[in-house]
Protein backbone atom coordinates (compact mmCIF):
# COMPACT_ATOMS: atom_id res chain seq x y z
CA UNK A 1 0.00 0.00 0.00
CA UNK A 2 1.14 3.54 -0.61
CA UNK A 3 2.60 4.73 2.71
CA UNK A 4 1.13 8.24 2.51
CA UNK A 5 -2.39 6.73 2.66
CA UNK A 6 -1.64 4.53 5.68
CA UNK A 7 -2.93 5.75 9.07
CA UNK A 8 -0.68 5.53 12.10
CA UNK A 9 -3.59 4.05 14.02
CA UNK A 10 -6.95 2.60 12.94
CA UNK A 11 -9.72 2.37 15.56
CA UNK A 12 -13.45 1.77 15.58
CA UNK A 13 -14.31 5.25 16.93
CA UNK A 14 -12.86 8.22 18.77
CA UNK A 15 -13.88 6.51 22.01
CA UNK A 16 -11.33 3.76 21.30
CA UNK A 17 -8.41 6.20 21.17
CA UNK A 18 -6.16 5.80 24.19
CA UNK A 19 -5.78 9.47 25.13
CA UNK A 20 -3.19 8.69 27.81
CA UNK A 21 -1.07 6.84 25.24
CA UNK A 22 -1.25 9.87 22.93
CA UNK A 23 -0.04 12.13 25.74
CA UNK A 24 2.79 9.68 26.45
CA UNK A 25 3.77 9.92 22.74
CA UNK A 26 4.07 13.68 23.21
CA UNK A 27 0.83 14.67 21.48
CA UNK A 28 -0.45 18.06 22.65
CA UNK A 29 -3.02 18.83 19.95
CA UNK A 30 -5.76 17.01 18.07
CA UNK A 31 -7.03 18.06 14.67
CA UNK A 32 -10.52 16.57 14.49
CA UNK A 33 -12.74 15.94 11.49
CA UNK A 34 -16.44 16.66 12.07
CA UNK A 35 -18.89 14.62 10.00
CA UNK A 36 -18.83 10.87 10.61
CA UNK A 37 -15.91 11.28 13.00
CA UNK A 38 -17.34 13.30 15.92
CA UNK A 39 -21.01 13.10 14.92
CA UNK A 40 -23.05 11.51 12.16
CA UNK A 41 -23.14 13.28 8.80
CA UNK A 42 -24.93 16.64 9.10
CA UNK A 43 -25.96 15.94 12.70
CA UNK A 44 -26.31 19.38 14.32
CA UNK A 45 -25.72 18.50 17.98
CA UNK A 46 -23.11 16.63 19.98
CA UNK A 47 -24.10 13.59 22.01
CA UNK A 48 -23.54 13.46 25.76
CA UNK A 49 -20.90 10.83 25.08
CA UNK A 50 -19.02 13.18 22.73
CA UNK A 51 -19.22 16.06 25.21
CA UNK A 52 -17.78 13.77 27.90
CA UNK A 53 -15.00 12.64 25.53
CA UNK A 54 -14.10 16.26 24.74
CA UNK A 55 -14.00 16.93 28.50
CA UNK A 56 -11.62 13.97 28.92
CA UNK A 57 -9.44 15.46 26.16
CA UNK A 58 -9.35 18.81 27.98
CA UNK A 59 -8.49 17.14 31.29
CA UNK A 60 -5.35 15.81 29.61
CA UNK A 61 -4.53 19.36 28.49
CA UNK A 62 -4.81 18.45 24.82
CA UNK A 63 -5.68 21.30 22.47
CA UNK A 64 -8.36 20.63 19.86
CA UNK A 65 -9.40 22.13 16.55
CA UNK A 66 -12.10 20.86 14.20
CA UNK A 67 -10.95 20.97 10.58
CA UNK A 68 -13.79 20.25 8.17
CA UNK A 69 -14.43 20.51 4.46
CA UNK A 70 -18.04 21.36 5.33
CA UNK A 71 -19.52 24.85 4.98
CA UNK A 72 -18.87 27.61 7.49
CA UNK A 73 -22.25 27.86 9.17
CA UNK A 74 -22.45 24.17 10.00
CA UNK A 75 -18.93 23.98 11.34
CA UNK A 76 -19.11 27.25 13.30
CA UNK A 77 -22.42 26.38 14.97
CA UNK A 78 -21.18 22.95 15.98
CA UNK A 79 -17.83 24.21 17.25
CA UNK A 80 -19.51 26.90 19.34
CA UNK A 81 -21.85 24.29 20.80
CA UNK A 82 -18.94 22.08 21.93
CA UNK A 83 -16.46 24.86 22.72
CA UNK A 84 -13.77 23.81 20.26
CA UNK A 85 -11.91 25.96 17.71
CA UNK A 86 -12.76 25.20 14.09
CA UNK A 87 -11.75 25.77 10.50
CA UNK A 88 -14.43 25.30 7.83
CA UNK A 89 -14.08 24.84 4.07
CA UNK A 90 -10.67 23.34 4.74
CA UNK A 91 -10.10 21.83 1.29
CA UNK A 92 -8.47 18.75 2.84
CA UNK A 93 -6.09 17.13 1.95
CA UNK A 94 -4.47 20.49 1.24
CA UNK A 95 -2.05 21.42 4.02
CA UNK A 96 -3.13 25.00 4.67
CA UNK A 97 -5.96 24.24 7.13
CA UNK A 98 -3.83 21.71 9.03
CA UNK A 99 -1.13 24.36 9.45
CA UNK A 100 -3.72 26.94 10.55
CA UNK A 101 -5.06 24.50 13.13
CA UNK A 102 -1.58 23.86 14.54
CA UNK A 103 -0.95 27.60 14.72
CA UNK A 104 -4.21 28.17 16.60
CA UNK A 105 -3.47 25.30 19.00
CA UNK A 106 0.16 26.34 19.52
CA UNK A 107 1.41 22.93 18.37
CA UNK A 108 3.76 21.65 15.68
CA UNK A 109 4.26 18.56 13.51
CA UNK A 110 5.89 16.57 16.29
CA UNK A 111 3.07 17.01 18.81
CA UNK A 112 -0.10 17.03 16.70
CA UNK A 113 -2.37 14.15 15.70
CA UNK A 114 -5.15 14.10 13.09
CA UNK A 115 -8.35 12.13 13.71
CA UNK A 116 -10.75 11.47 10.84
CA UNK A 117 -12.83 8.95 8.95
CA UNK A 118 -11.52 9.46 5.41
CA UNK A 119 -8.25 8.26 3.95
CA UNK A 120 -8.12 10.68 1.02
CA UNK A 121 -8.80 13.81 3.08
CA UNK A 122 -7.91 13.39 6.77
CA UNK A 123 -5.18 10.75 6.59
CA UNK A 124 -3.58 11.96 3.37
CA UNK A 125 -3.63 15.56 4.58
CA UNK A 126 -2.09 14.69 7.94
CA UNK A 127 0.51 12.38 6.46
CA UNK A 128 1.57 15.03 3.95
CA UNK A 129 2.69 17.08 6.98
CA UNK A 130 4.13 14.05 8.81
CA UNK A 131 1.54 14.26 11.59
CA UNK A 132 0.41 11.21 13.54
CA UNK A 133 -2.83 10.09 11.86
CA UNK A 134 -5.74 8.17 13.35
CA UNK A 135 -8.41 6.68 11.12
CA UNK A 136 -11.83 5.94 12.63
CA UNK A 137 -14.65 4.02 11.03
CA UNK A 138 -17.42 6.32 9.73
CA UNK A 139 -20.20 6.69 12.29
CA UNK A 140 -22.92 5.90 9.75
CA UNK A 141 -23.38 5.28 6.06
CA UNK A 142 -25.32 8.46 5.30
CA UNK A 143 -22.90 10.78 3.52
CA UNK A 144 -22.59 13.26 0.71
CA UNK A 145 -22.83 11.38 -2.61
CA UNK A 146 -19.25 12.15 -3.64
CA UNK A 147 -17.97 10.75 -0.35
CA UNK A 148 -19.86 7.53 -1.05
CA UNK A 149 -17.92 7.18 -4.31
CA UNK A 150 -14.59 7.78 -2.59
CA UNK A 151 -15.41 5.08 -0.02
CA UNK A 152 -15.09 2.50 -2.79
CA UNK A 153 -11.48 3.59 -3.36
CA UNK A 154 -10.82 3.49 0.37
CA UNK A 155 -11.93 -0.14 0.54
CA UNK A 156 -9.36 -0.91 -2.15
CA UNK A 157 -6.63 0.83 -0.12
CA UNK A 158 -7.49 -0.87 3.19
CA UNK A 159 -8.92 -4.26 2.18
CA UNK A 160 -9.86 -6.41 5.16
CA UNK A 161 -8.08 -4.12 7.60
CA UNK A 162 -9.56 -4.23 11.07
CA UNK A 163 -9.37 -1.49 13.67
CA UNK A 164 -6.76 -1.89 16.39
CA UNK A 165 -6.32 -0.17 19.69
CA UNK A 166 -2.62 0.67 19.58
CA UNK A 167 0.10 1.25 17.02
CA UNK A 168 3.76 2.03 17.33
CA UNK A 169 3.97 3.73 13.93
CA UNK A 170 5.26 7.28 14.30
The 3-class SS string of 35-67 reads ECCCECCCCCCCCHHHHHHHHHHHHCCCEEEEE
Query: Is the pLDDT assigned to residue 119 strictly greater than 50?
Result: yes
**Can you give the residue ranges of every domain in the chain?**
3-157
18-75 pLDDT, tens digit per residue, is 999 999 999 999 999 999 999 998 788 999 999 999 999 999 999 999 999 998 899 9
pLDDT on residue 43: 81
Question: What integer is the mean pLDDT of 143-151?
Answer: 56
**Which tens digits make up the pLDDT trace of 63-117?**
999 999 998 899 999 999 999 999 999 999 999 999 999 999 999 999 999 999 9
Write down the pLDDT at residue 166.
Answer: 39
Q: Which CATH superfamily is domain 3-157 in?
A: HAD superfamily/HAD-like (3.40.50.1000)
Contact (Cβ atoms closer than 8 angstroms) between residue 23 and residue 58: no
Model pLDDT, residue 153: 60
Question: What pLDDT is attached to residue 155?
Answer: 62
pTM (two decimals): 0.85
pLDDT at 167: 42
- Least confident piece of the model among 3-17, 95-109, 135-149: 135-149
CB within 8 A of 128, min separation 6: which ones?
4, 93, 95
Confidence class for position 169, pLDDT limits 50, 70, 90: very low
For position 158, what pLDDT does the model report? 64
Separation in Å, CA 25 to CA 29, 79, 113: 12, 26, 10
- What is the per-residue pLDDT for 142? 59
Amino acid sequence: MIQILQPGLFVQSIYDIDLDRLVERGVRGLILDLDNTLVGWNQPRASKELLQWLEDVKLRELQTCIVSNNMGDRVEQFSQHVGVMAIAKAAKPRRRAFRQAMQRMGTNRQDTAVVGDQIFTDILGGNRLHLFTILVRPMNEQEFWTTQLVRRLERAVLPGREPARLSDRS
